Amino acid sequence: MSALSFKRDIKGLFSKYVDDMVRVKLPVPQGRGARTLHLGDYESVKTFYHQIQISIHGYDFDADKGWLVPPEQRLRVENGGPDEFVSSAPHPMPPDSRMPQEAIDIFDQWVRDGMQP
């Protein structure tokens, strides 16, 4: 199987959220100011991939029910230990409910594949 690509596999995952997210400004990694997130734009999604991952994994944990996904589908905390996973997000995405797990898995695999255009 070939590596996932933004144009073929990722852009469609976020298509219904593009208009809502265009008002979101995020700090650019490495402290280079802030920019607007454009979920339909490859360079924007590539720049903010980790913030996006945190947002889409923001529903992985429920305070009442615990973890909703097994460890292999959770996002590890950056620079955290082997059992430290992202359990919340400042702004979970989408704002009204959890993305389908298949879509989250596809995005995570695209990141692991090297974020091809």
Closest alpha carbon to 92 in 56, 67, 60, 117: 56
Percentage of the chain modeled with pLDDT above 90: 67
* Confidence band for 1, pLDDT divided at 50, 70 and 90: low
- pLDDT value, residue 19: 77
Q: What is the mean pLDDT of residues 16-44?
A: 83
Calculate the alpha carbon distances from 91 to 53, 56, 114 in Å. 11, 9, 25
Q: What is the mean pLDDT of residues 102-111?
A: 96
Percentage of the chain modeled with pLDDT above 70: 99
The domain segmentation of the chain, as residue ranges, is 6-113
Cis peptide before 94 (omega within 30 of 0): yes
Residue 5 has pLDDT above 90, yes or no: yes
Return mean pLDDT, the chain: 90
Q: pLDDT tens-digit profile of 31-69?
A: 778 888 899 999 999 999 999 999 999 999 999 999 999
The DSSP result for 31-91, as a single string, is: T--EEE--TT-HHHHHHTHHHHHHHHTTTSEETTTEESS-GGGSPBPTT--TT-B----SS
Q: Indicate yes or no: pTM above 0.85.
A: yes
Residue 30, Ramachandran bin (φ over 0: left; ψ between -120 and 50: alpha; else beta): left
